[in-house]
Amino acid sequence: MNQKTYHIEVWGCQMNVADAAAMARRLESLGYVESPDPASADLVLLETCCVREKPEHKIYSRLGELRPFKEARPGMRIGVCGCMAQKEGQTIIRKAPCVDLVIGPRRLFRLPELLAELEYTGNAQVDVVDDEAPLEVTEQDFELYRRQGALQAFVNIIEGCNYRCSYCIVPFVRGKFTSREPAAVANEVRRLVEVGIKEVNLLGQSVLAYGRDEGRTFDIVNLFELLHEIDGLERIRFTTNHPLEVSDRIIEAVKTMPKVMEHFHMPIQAGDDRLLKAMKRGYTVERYENLLHELRERIPGISITGDCIVGFPGETDEMFENSLETYTRLQFDQQFMFVYSARPGTPAATMPDQLSQEVKVARMIKLVELQNVISTARNESQLGTIFEVLVDGPSHRDATKYAGRARNNKALVFTVTHPPQRGAIVHVIAESAHLWGFSGSMVE
Ligand code: SAM
Ligand code: SF4
């Protein structure tokens, strides 16, 4: 009998990448094999994002492209998972009847059951209940990590968000903060290390808020301490960081714990106080700037990256220029830059002075140009630095070289005199700087 095949397409953030990987592992444990070709796959899953409108449109047009494949092979199944599934629910099936499965982010663990139900009844399945704890990893997951020889794993530690940034739909689709028990996270990481994982990236919309949900008495530093004890675990990363959650205790932990990496992904969102207020971010530019300087002073070698939005309602030329000045002063190592997109149901969507797409795009182009100059300059200022690098293996860019990441998450491609093992920690001197990181050579 032919093996069933699956194909997953992912939009959005790292949490979606992690969820897509968890679904892939579940499907493989059911005997499915991955296919690069959606036209011939038995099951196509779209792991979706609804943070901006454009990806949402793209998903409907992607479903339109998939429909003919299904018409040609009626046994094919199509599923929509992730945040847009949560937000739209049954509507997706009304708008795109080719869809057989709609699964919310907190219900992914039901994928095998929903597939069985679909086959048994022939009816489309929708499950978007949002009150469950985050997905737990199964024994099959660990086995698949081993077979894939993976070095890094994402570990969800806190779901949802209690902030109410005026532009953001996440709290509506992912619910309130729900932290996993520290012992459950530590057990998972221990098992991950046993199957070869060296680096974990602890994930949450506001990961430093870990443990702050009702009745909990632990925090992210307690979790760092617990994970730090795990022999064989080399690196702990954590993302995303809300500036209001960064405490002295956290800074001290990152500074002193050798396994906790010196990288903060800490979105600023705007560089003008009037915009920050309208966004309901809860801090001023000055407060953010002081925090950034404190981080750079106290944690040597740290890199600081962020997210920002252009074209928020009411953003004048002057406010935009103010933001550019702020970003020039702050010198982020990198920023993910987003064009504002009105999300129905969020306060910003009904604010006056929504900007035209032309203005938003023109500002975005200016911002990207500026950030590219800043990122390259920051890397140039670190030429000659010797970085501690976790070796990923031969480089995809140039097979004669090796690739890996520094503690501060900068990418390095480097020449070697003798080939290092995948997963080894080596030292590399940065010899030329690029937008994305460095080229260099391994030093003994
Ligand atoms: N929880 C994270 C935080 O607050 O830092 C970010 C979560 S969100 C999935 C990722 C990024 O998408 C945000 O930091 C923001 O820059 C951007 N974003 C969110 N809503 C947006 C919107 N309506 N339009 C454009 N960008 C948006
Ligand atoms: Fe959205 Fe703000 Fe929560 Fe981030 S902190 S997920 S931007 S509401």
Do the Cβ atoms of 398 and 369 come closer than 8 Å?
no
Give residue 404 CA to ligand 2 midpoint distance, Å.
30
pLDDT at 1 over 60: no
The token pair that represents 59 in the structure block: 């998903």
Rounded distance, CA 354 to CA 39, Å?
40
| pLDDT category of residue 297 using cuts at 50, 70 and 90 | very high
Give residue 280 CA to ligand 2 midpoint distance, Å.
10
Beta bridge partners of residue 157, listed in sequence order: none
Q: Decide: residue 305, CB within 10 A, 0-12 exposed, 13-18 middle, 19+ buried.
A: buried
Q: Which ligand number lies closest to the CA of residue 241?
A: 1
Average pLDDT over residues 246-254: 98
Do the Cβ atoms of 128 and 102 come closer than 8 Å?
yes
Average pLDDT over residues 352-377: 95
Give residue 308 CA to ligand 1 midpoint distance, Å.
8
Write b or e for each residue in 390-414: b if 16 or more Cβ atoms lie within 10 A of its Cβ, otherwise e: bbbebbeeeeebbbbbbbbbbbbbb
| pLDDT category of residue 309 using cuts at 50, 70 and 90 | very high
Query: In this predicted model, which residue has the larger pLDDT, 292 or 70?
Result: 292
Average pLDDT over residues 131-145: 68
Give residue 8 CA to ligand 2 midpoint distance, Å.
26
pLDDT at 31 over 90: no
Closest ligand 1 atom to the C-alpha of 49?
9
Give φ, ψ of 170 to 5 degrees. -50, -50
Give residue 106 CA to ligand 1 midpoint distance, Å.
20
Whether the CB of 170 sits within 6 Å of ligand 1: yes
E strand segments, 366-410: 386-394, 402-406
Percent residues over pLDDT 70 in the chain: 98
| pLDDT category of residue 17 using cuts at 50, 70 and 90 | confident
Do the Cβ atoms of 402 and 439 come closer than 8 Å?
no
In the chain the first and final C-alpha atoms are separated, in Å, by 53
Percent residues over pLDDT 90 in the chain: 67
Helices (H), 89-216: 91-95, 111-121, 139-148, 170-174, 182-194
Give residue 327 CA to ligand 1 midpoint distance, Å.
17
pLDDT at 276 over 60: yes
Closest ligand 1 atom to the C-alpha of 241?
5
Rounded distance, CA 202 to CA 15, Å?
10
Does an H or E element contain 175, and which?
none
Substitution candidate for ligand 1 out of 86, 207, 309, 340 with most atoms within 8 A of CB: 309
Rounded distance, CA 89 to CA 137, Å?
25
Q: Which of 87-101, 269-283, 325-339 has the lowest mean pLDDT?
A: 87-101
Closest ligand 2 atom to the C-alpha of 242?
5
Q: Give the residue, by CA position, lying nearest to ligand 2 atom 1.
A: 168
Q: Give the residue, by CA position, lying nearest to ligand 2 atom 2.
A: 165
| pLDDT category of residue 129 using cuts at 50, 70 and 90 | confident
Q: Give the residue, by CA position, lying nearest to ligand 2 atom 4.
A: 205
Average pLDDT over residues 195-212: 94
Average pLDDT over residues 374-383: 96
Whether the CB of 305 sits within 6 Å of ligand 1: no
Q: Which of 104-108, 194-198, 418-422 has the lowest mean pLDDT?
A: 104-108
| pLDDT category of residue 7 using cuts at 50, 70 and 90 | very high
CA 343 from centroid of its chain's CA atoms: 20
What pLDDT shows up at residue 407? 98
Whether the CB of 53 sits within 6 Å of ligand 1: no
Rounded distance, CA 61 to CA 269, Å?
29
Strands of the sheet with 235-239, listed across from one edge: 152-156, 199-203, 235-239
What pLDDT shows up at residue 106? 74
Closest ligand 2 atom to the C-alpha of 168?
1
Q: Give the residue, by CA position, lying nearest to ligand 2 atom 5.
A: 163
pLDDT at 133 over 70: no
pLDDT at 21 over 80: yes
DSSP string over 229-297: T-TT--EEEEE---GGG--HHHHHHHHH-TTB-SEEE---B-SSHHHHHHHT-S--HHHHHHHHHHHHH
Rounded distance, CA 325 to CA 322, Å?
5
Whether the CB of 174 sits within 6 Å of ligand 1: no
156-186 per-position pLDDT tens digit: 899 889 999 999 988 888 788 989 999 999 9
What pLDDT shows up at residue 57? 83
Q: Which ligand number lies closest to the CA of residue 207?
A: 1
CA 103 from centroid of its chain's CA atoms: 19
Q: Could you tell me which of 351, 377, 353, 355 has the C-alpha nearest to residue 364?
A: 355
Q: Which of 55-64, 228-237, 243-252, 384-393 has the lowest mean pLDDT?
A: 55-64
Strands 411-415 and 402-406: antiparallel
Q: What is the mean pLDDT of the chain?
A: 91
Average pLDDT over residues 320-338: 96
Strands 386-394 and 402-406: antiparallel
| CA dist list (Å): 421 to 48, 371, 402, 404 | 36, 35, 10, 11
What pLDDT shows up at residue 320? 98
pTM of the model: 0.83
Average pLDDT over residues 233-251: 97
Strands 125-127 and 101-103: parallel
What residues does ligand 2 touch, defined as CB less than 6 Å away? 161, 163-165, 168, 170-171, 205-206, 242
Strands of the sheet with 263-265, listed across from one edge: 263-265, 303-310, 334-339
